[in-house]
Amino acid sequence: MTDRPNTTRALVEEPDMGITLSDGCRLSARVWMPEDAGDDPVPAILEYLPYRKRDGTVARDALTHPYFAERGYACIRVDIRGNGDSEGLMEDEYTPQELSDAVEVIDWLAAQPWCNGRLGMMGISWGGFNGLQVAALGPEPLKAVITLCSTVDRFADDIHYKGGCLLNENLGWGATMWSYSSRAPDPALQENWRQMWLERLKNEPFLPSVWLRHQTRDAYWRHGSVIEDYSSIKAKVLAVGGWGDAYKNTVPQIVEALPGAKGIVGPWVHKYPHFAVPEPRIGFLQEALRWWDHWLKDMDTGVEADPDYRAYLMDGVRPATWYAERPGRWVTEAEGATAHLESARLHLTDGGLATEAGGLDRHVHSPADCGSAAGEYCAIWLGPEQPGDQRVDDALSSCFDSAPLASDMDILGAPRITLRLASDRPQAQIAVRLNHLHPDGASTRITYGVLNLSHRRSASDPQAMTPGAEEEITLDLDHIGYRIPEGHRLRVAVSTAYWPLIWPAPEAATLTLSGGHIDLPQRPSGQQDEYVFPPPAAAAPWEPEELRPEAHLRRQERDLTSDAVTLVIEDDFGKVRDREHGIVSGSVARERWTILPDDPLSASGACHWTDELEREGLRLRTETRCAMTCDAAFFHLTARIEAYENDELIYERDVTDSIERQFM
């Protein structure tokens, strides 16, 4: 559990190593490796994603890859086809082309004279997803994977659908990719940069339209969902996640399903844990090095004897939209994650949450703006993105409170709620929040889940509700590690809307609850850490010249004339100049989500990104916009892309689309 001494080696770095694929497409890689790797070959670690190594992931790359390279690895950061400085065009996320390209890259790397033929893949988010997906293809040189903030089920646990409900992140992240993948390569690296840029602009897909054409768990989503066949993964997997992230369920799922897998979950948002927030951070690079040294160098680093599951159990704290740190303690499970833990059952009754079953006759009919305190689906930009005080949403929900707890309650795992209910509409949705109720009434969200009731039996074959017919439904809330203090209370809040996290059903439904209970996985933990990680380490940080500082804004507006409610999001990521190679880059993202409380068909979302790239008198800019509205039968999408060279418009394109709602 301490950092193992490891002799460091002098490095060489290559900013644009070309990897030419079998179809002639050249991918661009940034490489760090020991300068003597040609004489003493080393294993390779591949990170493979679309987020622009030159001006996108450069800050985190600087902290991470040189650390491993100094300790005897070749670290290869590749822009996938059609992104950054790589040639070709990208059609979608996680396509067969993307994955087969990765296998070619792995085989190419394994054959280089400076590589000993053994590889690992590491990545967060997109790179965490495709690391698992490539491992499932079984390339022989790939021996180990470290996946962070990823998923094993693309339909149930990505940014598109959750519980069969349409996440507004489907449009929001689609807008991000509409922006990211339409940017130009660095003109200093690619002589034909302008031709590459224009080809991207002409062919860039508007992905929200693609994703919205698959509203059930069909073959499109099964592709790349390794939950379909865990046995195909032979590489050894270390899975890492955070309670502040969207992908809370993956780590325990992997630990339970993959022999030899290990899992770590901390309090973090969507970031690598050696620089993530909230603190405490951990020595992630040291933990990763132990993993690589064992599986890629056959060194006995003790990783096989580590607990299967190391999770941070957070102390219950007051609600806030941002936390610098979360007090708590590390707990461990020697074998498995949480499936073996016992649960405490509380019943939903007319009198609140009770240890014994009782009568229940409760109607739930929330206004369409219920959910304003949900925070971001995936907290990533380091603004005020966490769920705030839940009292505003509790007031629009049906709430069930427990008696004050006689002792601390430690929850570790996925709470499961079972409800007996009827709907007065064929299409309806339900949101369930488990909250920590403080003595003064403040309400902190512990975890939550949402369900499109047409998906209550199957996400592949949805069926409308029969109005007035009573049914029993079961919903797993997201995994969590959380302590509710003695004397405080639990609250289960049930609503029929959760805007702007999910798109509303076409009609405002009333649900009648006639019975239910919640099962809370228990894991008493005491007061001490059961595992001690080394403190965070990192390579020297990237230090660009700041030209414009970052700024992040979240604002809620209410029009007192129309009663329209709007969430305004503005993320200015600043503008910087790379001191080493001179590129200037900057981005601003804006979103607006508006709805009338009494009209779910009034829902609308709009996104606008501005991206700048400059060097030596050349100024390139893209403006990308998109929007979504609906009626009872269709979703309506619009998008526009504009490209400017030295402030002259050189390309523009508009997209319009209408997609039929399918039990959505």
290 and 283 in contact (C-beta within 8 Å)? Answer: no
Instruction: For residue 339, count other CB atoms closer than 10 A to its CB.
Output: 13
Of residues 419, 363, 433, the one with CA closest to residue 391: 433
pLDDT at res. 581: 95
Q: Is 407 exposed, middle or buried (0-12, 13-18, 19+ CB in 10 A)?
A: exposed
Q: Reduced to 3 states, what is the DSSP secondary structure of residue 20?
A: strand
Cα 85 from chain centroid (whole Å): 25
Of residues 60, 54, 25, 197, the one with CA closest to residue 585: 54
Reading the block at residue 534, the tokens are 């080394």
Q: What are phi and psi of 487, to 5 degrees?
A: 90, -15
Of residues 639, 626, 636, 642, the one with CA closest to residue 661: 636
* 482 membership: H or E segment, kind and range: strand 480-484
Range list of H helices, 225-297 = 250-257, 284-297
DSSP bridge pairs for 490: 436
Cis, bond preceding 500 (omega within 30 deg of 0):
yes
Of residues 622, 638, 663, 629, the one with CA closest to residue 198: 622
DSSP bridge pairs for 457: none
Instruction: For residue 10, count other CB atoms closer than 10 A to its CB.
Output: 9
Of residues 154, 150, 118, 119, the one with CA closest to residue 132: 150
**Stretches in the chain below the pLDDT threshold 50:** 1-5
Reading the block at residue 254, the tokens are 């992997």
Reading the block at residue 237, the tokens are 């997997």
17 and 29 in contact (C-beta within 8 Å)? Answer: yes
pLDDT at res. 382: 77
605 and 592 in contact (C-beta within 8 Å)? Answer: yes
pLDDT at res. 8: 87
Pairwise CA distance, residues 342 & 312, whole Å: 18
Reading the block at residue 154, the tokens are 């693309």
pLDDT at res. 1: 34
pLDDT at res. 76: 98
pLDDT at res. 381: 79
CA distances from 49 to 85, 94, 340, 514 (A): 12, 10, 36, 48
Name, in order, each residue with C-beta under 8 angstroms of 103's C-beta and a sequence gap of 6 or more. Answer: 134, 137, 139
Q: Which residues of 449-488 are buried (b: 16+ CB within 10 A; e: fewer)?
A: bbbbbbbbeebeebeebeeeeeeebebbbbbbbbbbbeeb
202 and 622 in contact (C-beta within 8 Å)? Answer: no
Percentage of residues in the chain having pLDDT higher than 70:
99
pLDDT at res. 612: 97
For 605-617, how does the pLDDT look when each residue is reduced to its tens digit (9 = 90+)?
999 999 999 998 8
